[in-house]
A and B are shown apart, each in its own frame.
Chain A
């Protein structure tokens, strides 16, 4: 990396999550000189998606992360007398309570690795050795480093291993773990590790012949690059702000999307499909004739509820749930509308909120298909990358694995004027955008964060079997006890390019009340069973079986007032990490607000100039390429509202 960074920019963006990436794109698009850095080796921060080996490295990174000791700050020598520094954090503290369970059988004697994949750190090393490169060309090589990463993950997590590398990643949470880790089962990390080793039937496996429909851990490792596992599980509302922005800015051309194929509900221990389009309602077998009419009538009203204030006026003070009881709806229908269409909880939302949510849902229906949602192929992590590309196309400079030591503040003007990066280089800028997780504890001491509970499961079949094995489903499981939250389940099939053939990738998300496992395990147990050998014999099994599971808590830094952060200069803007919501509106709103502060009179991500208006420096363009591109862009216009 002999190339050095320029020393002056208009906007420096630290962190490559979705809001930061949108702002970087918008600023670059309107002519600002943008430097976009991320201390990690991948795009997206907590919005990223990983291959299976990538996810394992990510987990490992968090373990190593906790070992980082803040050494003496070298940057102090770079700060002048009339300046102050705001040190940035070198530790990421946004992920906690990580727990991994493997139920698929593991043959530890077999050396397995992800085909074609290389360990992240290795990619950094410039290979000057031709044999090395040639090796990596033929697929199943014996790359020691990789097989170490993949297999050791699980070994390390057994209680007998080094306690420092235990499941609890966040240093602050590991209190008391060092002593008696193998006896003291009350502490979360060792308990889970214990359970895990119980659940892994190593001994039986080595003798058994692999069966046809058996999926082993080594298969998951081998096919690891088929996975694109989202850290944050979201969908795009067909008429949400993000879709509008993608189309408006033409960033949509960098990605492809699939429609969610069905909305599910979980009632009385059973998973069933929710009818949401008119055709669905009439074809539904679960609804009686009378119910069909009731539902259609109610939904038709919701579409334009504002026009009939009399219908809901008297009910504004009560919850949506109570309001539904006053309508001519059977309990069955009330349940469907509340949990699967409005997707709100019994207690949380008012009548108006519920009507709004229902209207939004209906409004998004039919734009691209039978449900109101889209999912990006290859995972949510593609979206920040798409906006980063747009930023780069307009001249933005990208630097991953580049950390910033501190922000430099001018004492007199109280404005931030530069950053000092990991090499001690001072880079001047006018505006500074920092993602929440980069701030040190000093800056965030007054901030109260909420948490998101997440689970990621790899399963062997869908929660609701149909003729097609390529369904993409969203399911809301209502909260059972007061003080807990509804759990959102998104099940992705292999055609979304997020998991290997024959498996499903299931994401569970809720607002945390406890650790991720405590919050989500009850729901996991209702819907799934662990994968074990015994049940293969038993054909009665209907529930999907879990091959592999991961739980973790992620910091929710959304909706935090700027004033909660200590001593931020006015030209330092804060971007939050992912929020718990289903859509991406929060990120887009945030990006637009901050962009408008930076560039008050500028349009937010306008479409790129029409190809025919573009003249290259020097000679003029050949017309052929031009007419070609023009044809295409009209095409895109049509795609905005595809015919069904």
Chain B
């Protein structure tokens, strides 16, 4: 049996920039125009083979708690990486990106890998944020940056693939255990365990 490495990735960014759509595209290769804004999945998983290991992404969505700036510190616990999303057609969402980075620095684990995603790049004719600005900013904070389109499936796979090697390098630094391998959850794995991605559309419950 192949070893499974779990990588918790949390998503950040303003309401409506397409966080859930990015996960949905990555995990289910699916895009829904009318995704309801408040219903975020608890988290979704996707397992990707890598050499003789399986890498299992546990992708946490904000569940709408970002809407009134009420994300809980618990949301960031144990994250190996954070994907911070802005909307390339909304300058404001790029400004607030910096606020999310700040919050991540405050509450997130040290050495968390940051990836910036400029979503909705299919709408580049109404673009407000030049890619150059994003690149400059990303460089200043040591983050990966890529423009994506969850709608047209552009760069979504690349975004997550881009995170992987960086996370693995960071994890090899001494004293760093951001990735929980299956064995590492020896702790008190009681309920502990991260599991099932449930995506309950509220109207069906």
Interface residues of A (CB under 8 A from B): 1, 3, 5, 29-31, 43, 115-118, 123-124, 126-128, 130, 132-134, 136-137, 243, 246-247, 250-259, 368-369, 374, 377-378, 382, 385-386, 388-390, 392-395, 397-402, 608-609, 611, 614-619, 621-622, 624-625, 628-630, 632-633, 635-636, 639-640, 642
Contact = CB atoms under 8 A, between A and B. Distances in A.
B32 to A, nearest CB: 5
Contacts of B78: 256
Interface in B8-48: 15, 27-30, 32, 34, 36, 38-42, 44-47
A374 B191 CA distance: 11
Given A116-B106, A394-B202, A616-B32, A130 B137 contact: yes
A635 B195 contact: yes
Contacts of B96: 126
Contacts of A401: 69
A514 B95 CA distance: 52
A635 B193 contact: yes
A445 B95 CA distance: 48
Interface in B185-201: 185, 187-201
A259 B188 contact: yes
Given A130-B137, A386-B74, A621 B30 contact: yes
Interface of B is mostly: loop
A642 B190 contact: yes
Nearest to A613: B204
Contact of A614 (B140, B192, B199): B199
Contacts of A609: 198, 200, 204-205
6 closest cross-chain pairs (CB), A and B: A252-B191, A133-B98, A632-B195, A392-B63, A385-B72, A385-B74
Contacts of B188: 256-259, 368-369, 374
Contact of A31 (B191, B199, B205): B205
A629 B187 contact: no
Contact of A378 (B27, B74, B137, B194): B74
A126 B202 CA distance: 32
B192 A255 contact: yes
A401 B67 CA distance: 13
Contacts of A30: 205
A629 B198 contact: yes
B42 to A, nearest CB: 5
A383 to B, nearest CB: 9
Nearest to B182: A635
Given A31-B205, A258-B188, A398-B65, 14 more contacts: A127-B102, A136-B101, A136-B102, A253-B193, A256-B188, A392-B65, A393-B198, A614-B199, A617-B32, A633-B195, A635-B195, A639-B190, A640-B190, A640-B191
Nearest to B67: A3
Contact of B102 (A133, A398, A611, A632): A133
Contacts of A642: 189-190
Contacts of B15: 3
Nearest to A254: B74
Contact of B103 (A1, A5, A123, A402): A123
B29 to A, nearest CB: 6
A618 B193 CA distance: 31
B130 interface: no
